[in-house]
Amino acid sequence: MTNYTTEIKTSSFVPPSDSRQRVSQFLRNLQDQICQKLEAVDGEGTFQEDAWEREEGGGGRSRVMKAGKVFEQGGVGFSEVWGKDLPPSILVQRPEAAGHSFYAMGTSMVLHPRSPYIPTVHLNYRYFEAGPVWWFGGGVDLTPYYPFAEDAAHFHQTMKRACDQHHPEYYPTFKRWCDEYFYLKHRQETRGVGGIFFDYQDGRGTLYHGPNSNGQAAAYSNALGEIEPRNWEQLFAFVQDCGNSFLPAYLPIVERRQGMEYGDRQRQFQLYRRGRYVEFNLIYDRGTIFGLQTNGRTESILMSLPPMVRWEYSYQPEPNTPEAELYERFLKPQDWASWSPDVQ
């Protein structure tokens, strides 16, 4: 990192001189806290760390739990990379970065629980600096296999509280963006029940920067908010609160579901639905594509893939089953934050 030359030039939105150190420290701590707490919840599995370096600049630490009691596989990675040019997929959105060296870091996590009643969950927070521009991105989203409205509601309500402390437009905008981003166009399904997603947050007041390059359409995109400018400190505080909200958003769901018994039918459906996770990550995911385009560490990029997966030609759930309810209600955008047990 010491060889990297700072080139931030925009005067009104300048990050502090120690921006990278502070974000890096936060993202490493987030990785540490999540791993510690997940090990405690699992009770058996432990994370094994691989530290790695990237030839073109930077490196990271990948931590994987294999064959835990609760988590069949979990990966939590931190990486910090720099180089000469950002890939074309990002320069389209940030043309000001063209011709400048870049600095990027992030913490990513995907958990694949053993029980089909515990949802898969994904988290990613990241920070970029490139010439005159910098931005934060990230989010968290939940992918249940079986439909429990209270789980989806708890997850969304927790993330909404974190967002609302910083700006009332954040949750509604980033919730919709999440539904749009984690969408499998070829299946016409959301990946799960969503959460929040944002990218290119540089304080300039435009919250929404989609749809992505795969052309997922957002009929509502024009209605999404423009807000007053935010400075670097305000954005960093927002991202910290989002990151710190993950454990309270997810762990109560794990605790609620881990004792429930399941059989082969639930297991087979889980393995089948995991195929959608693979399809999304390899066909659409911006983080995966960025990683592969920048010659990232393949094993770390693909540690999000499930340990065991099944495809079945032309599968359709039986009508009036929990599996059918997942498709009909949970794989379409819903206002989960407003859900309550009384008005389901």
Question: Which residues are catalytically annotated?
Answer: 122
Nearest to 128 by CA among 145, 153, 158, 105: 105
Residue 206 · residue 229 · CB < 8 Å: no
DSSP per residue, 100-129: S-EEEEEEEEEEEESSTTSPEEEEEEEEEE
Site membership for its own copies, residue 90 (CB under 8 A): no
Site membership for its own copies, residue 49 (CB under 8 A): no
Closest distance between its own copies and the C-beta of residue 249, in Å?
25
Site membership for its own copies, residue 73 (CB under 8 A): yes
**Cα–Cα distance, 34 to 79 (Å, whole number):** 15
Closest distance between its own copies and the C-beta of residue 311, in Å?
4
Residue 105 · residue 126 · CB < 8 Å: yes
Site membership for its own copies, residue 91 (CB under 8 A): no
Cα dihedral sign, 113-320-331-340: negative
Site membership for its own copies, residue 344 (CB under 8 A): no
Cα dihedral sign, 139-142-148-151: negative
Measured from the CB atom, the residue of 211 and 307 that comes closer to its own copies is 307
**Cα–Cα distance, 100 to 4 (Å, whole number):** 11
Q: Which listed residue (32, 39, 49, 50) binds its own copies by CB under 8 A?
A: 50
Closest distance between its own copies and the C-beta of residue 323, in Å?
17
Closest distance between its own copies and the C-beta of residue 320, in Å?
23
DSSP per residue, 185-212: TTTTEESSSEEEEEEEE-SSSB----S-
Binding-residue pattern over the window 190 to 229 for its own copies, x denoting contact by CB under 8 A: ----------------------------------------
Phi/psi for 160 (5° steps) reads -65, -40
The tokens describing 60, both together, are 């990271």
Closest distance between its own copies and the C-beta of residue 306, in Å?
7
Binding-residue pattern over the window 166 to 185 for its own copies, x denoting contact by CB under 8 A: -------------------x
Longest dimension (CA), the chain: 61
Looking at residues 251 to 310 of the shown chain, list those that interact with its own copies (rule: CB under 8 A). Answer: 271, 275, 278-279, 282-283, 292, 298-299, 301-303, 305-310
Place of tokens 């195929």: 275
Residues forming the site for its own copies (CB under 8 A): 50, 62, 64, 66, 73, 75, 185-187, 271, 275, 278-279, 282-283, 292, 298-299, 301-303, 305-314
